[in-house]
Structures are given as C-alpha cells and as structure tokens.
Copies of this chain bind each other. A is one copy, B any other.
Amino acid sequence: MPDSSPLLDGATACCATVTGGVLEVTEAERLAQMFKALGDPTRLRLLSLIAAQPDGEACICDLVDPVGLSQPTVSHHMKQLVEAGIVTREQRGRWAFYRLVDGSLATLGAALHPASLSV
C-alpha cells in the first residue's frame, strides 16, 4: 500500500470522483463525511428550508417549527452540516444565521455525476 506525497493527496482530493478510479482511503473518508451529513431526512429538509428562504439564510428559530423537532436537536443537526462544510454559521446579535456554502453541494454532485462516466 504505497503512500503518495501530501501534494499529490491534495491534488487527488480536489477532484476525486466515485467512478473515476479507485478512491484513496483519505478521500473516501472526506467524501463519506459529507454524504453522511446528507444521509438524514431532517438535515435534507433543513437544507431545503434554508435554500428556500428569500435571502438564502435562516436562523434556528426559522427551522424548528417546519421540521417539528426540538430546538436542541435542530441546533445539533446544523452543527453537523457546518462541520461537513455544507453550511456556514454567522452570529448576528442574538441570532445565528445559517446559509449554504456556495458550490459545496455542486462539488459533491460532481463527485457523483462523473465526467468520469467517460472513463
């Protein structure tokens, strides 16, 4: 199991796709973390709720009622989405505003939607 240089790892990590060659373990872990964050119906709905806001951002208070879960639970899910790099959190006064990270979902989609179908 030869290891590659950090620089090469970075290069492969930037554009790895599921079908574009055998995934390195580290890159598989990175992708899996993001997919796992999407692997919960509540989190998908939270994302869609944020995306549906007129200004593209939402506070926890906007999200609790629509998903029908407790405030701590919603806060917990949002933390996971932040840690996965899918949303950002910005504190403004008493409120915390969440918005989608531009291009993060598209990048994930590209890892699936492979130009690598051409491989």
**Residues on the B chain within 8 Å of A110, using CB:** 109, 113
Residues of A that sit less than 8 Å from B by CB: 18-23, 25, 28-29, 31-33, 35-45, 47-49, 51-52, 66, 100, 105-106, 108-114, 116-117, 119
**Contacts A38-B35, A39-B39, A41-B29 known; A52 to B21 CB distance under 8 Å?**
yes
Q: Is B28 a contact of A44 with CB atoms below 8 Å?
A: yes
**A-B contact sample (11 more), CB < 8 A, given A19-B48, A35-B38, A109-B113:** A18-B44, A18-B47, A22-B48, A23-B41, A28-B42, A29-B41, A32-B40, A105-B114, A106-B114, A108-B109, A109-B111
**Residues on the B chain within 8 Å of A109, using CB:** 108-113
**Residues on the B chain within 8 Å of A20, using CB:** 48, 51
Shortest distance between the CB of A73 and any CB in chain B (Å): 15
Bound-complex Cα distance A119 to B100 (A): 14
Closest to A47 in B: B18
